[in-house]
Structure formats: C-alpha cells, structure tokens
Amino acid sequence: MPIDPKIALGAELPSREFAWTPSDVQLYHLGLGAGTRWTDPAELRYLADREPQVLPTFATVAPTLGETEPPKVEFPGIDIDLAKVVHGFQEVQVHRPIPATGKATQTGRISEIWDKGSAAVVVQEQTVTSSDGEPLWTTRSSIFARGEGGFGGERGPSTKTELPDRAPDHEVTVATLPQQALLYRLCGDRNPLHSDPEFAKGAGFPAPILHGLCTYGIVCKTATDTVLGSDATRVTGFRARFAGVLFPGETIRTRMWREADQLIITATAVDRDDSPVLADVVLGFSS
C-alpha cells in the first residue's frame, strides 16, 4: 500500500543540518531571473557578493542545495512514484530576515493526509532553527499524488482566497527563459520532470515544465519589487497553491491587490490565454 495513514500521519521526518553562503543565495536569485535590471541598485541587492538580501522563498531550497539526485517520495507509511506527484501548495513564514550566510537544523512531520478519491494529498510542516538556537522559518507544503487516493480517509478542507472586487492595484508581466528550469535545478531540485523530455511525456506533459517553486519565487520577487521597493526584509510570509503549469520561456502575468498588510495575488500564463499558474497567493509584509 503506497500510503498507510495510520503510520504516516504525525510521523516525524528525518532532521537535517545544512548551511548556505552568499553564492548560494546569488545562484537562487539568478535562477529566478534576478539581474535583468543589471544597473539598478535595488535589483543588485539580490546579487551583492558579501551580503545579498535574501528572498524568504529561499527557504524552499536552502535545505537541499547541492543535491544532484532526483527526489524520492518516501516517508514513514508513504512510498509514491515520483511521476505521479505534483506540488499542491507551499507556504513560508519567516521569523526574522534570512541571513546571507548561515547554518541551521530542519525538523518536520507529516501534519495532514487527505483522501481526494482519485488522488491523495500529503502535507508536511518543517521548522528551521539557526545554529544559535533562534527560529528562522517555518514551511508548510503539500504534494498531490495522482492515483493514490481511495484509502478511506477524509477529503480535507477546501480553502480559497477571495479576490477583491475591483481592478488589481498592480499588474506586471515577467518573461521566463527557455533555459530557466535547467538553471533553477542547480538549486537542488533535480526532478527530471523539469529537464527530461521523455520523462515529462511519461508524466503527461508535452515538454518539461518549469519548477512550481521557481514560479513561486519569481512571483514573490515580482511582488516585492513592485510594491515593497525591492526590500525582501519586509516580506513576512508567502503562500500559494499551484494551479497549473508554466513552460520555460513563457511569460507570467502577476496581478496584485493591496489589502492592509498583505497582497492578494494571481499568476497566469500569458502565452496560453492567461491559464492559471498560481492561485490563492498571499504575501504578508511589514510596514
């Protein structure tokens, strides 16, 4: 049985110690397309040699930097074929600005398992603490495993972020590069879905798709640059549901509504009649 909820639910995940440097931060930001405004001092803050500012979405790659093997979907009570898995949602909450250099420990657990009938949703929660014992960030993420439902569990909640009933306060388009996924995968996500055309076809896609977390980071950066003056230290949290795919080379349209201390955001693929890419997107920020 690929999923045994009696074993999996609440199971602790292996802890991980990891470290990062300014070069790692620069590579991550380049993977998101940073540097297109190569003479803009605000843009260059992402790429400074000694103390680059760090987007909170860096938390999604920091523990796995340097990995070169495809990830395995193996946890206590869970063993799923990677080709059946897509990212469901991702949330990052930062407890203080992420430093450009650091050492930390990650601990986590399987916090939720939902039976969607034709698929299963598995939710992880991870907490990261710096080497000095201070909390750095907390992440929550889910995977959507096709064909792995039907084990008799609850369907789980259906959450949706309502869009304000007005035109967006900001609308920005950002073009991705044809080689964007090949660059971003150097941050540690070697899933062949993003680089191997035959693997992608076997998973039901006409070509490799861009990492959802790359799109996630691009949209966070776009909102930070547009509304927060490119000041990543003001971002306190970022969450999104992966509503569709983006192919490398396509253009992302980001629409933003400002509501008190947060932004409500949508992201769509311009090239495919604004097909949804990210939904239920919320960026929290400090004043």
**How far is the CA of 266 from the CAs of 97, 142, 170, 244, in angstroms?**
25, 19, 11, 12
Burial of 59 (0-12, 13-18, 19+ CB in 10 A): buried
Angle subtended by helix axes 212-227 and 22-31, to nearest 10: 100
Annotated catalytic, 194? yes
- Distance (Å, whole) CA 132 – CA 127: 15
Dig out the tokens for 130 from the structure.
């710096």
- Distance (Å, whole) CA 129 – CA 131: 7
Q: Which of 24, 189, 225, 280 is catalytic?
A: 189
Dig out the tokens for 84 from the structure.
């059946």
Q: Which of 194, 211, 225, 280 is catalytic?
A: 194
- Per DSSP, the three-state class of 54 is coil
> What's the DSSP call for residue 53?
-
Strand 275-285 to strand 235-242: parallel, antiparallel, or no bridges (unpaired)?
Answer: antiparallel
Q: Do 7 and 104 meet the contact criterion of CB atoms below 8 Å apart?
A: no
Write out the catalytic residue numbers: 189, 194
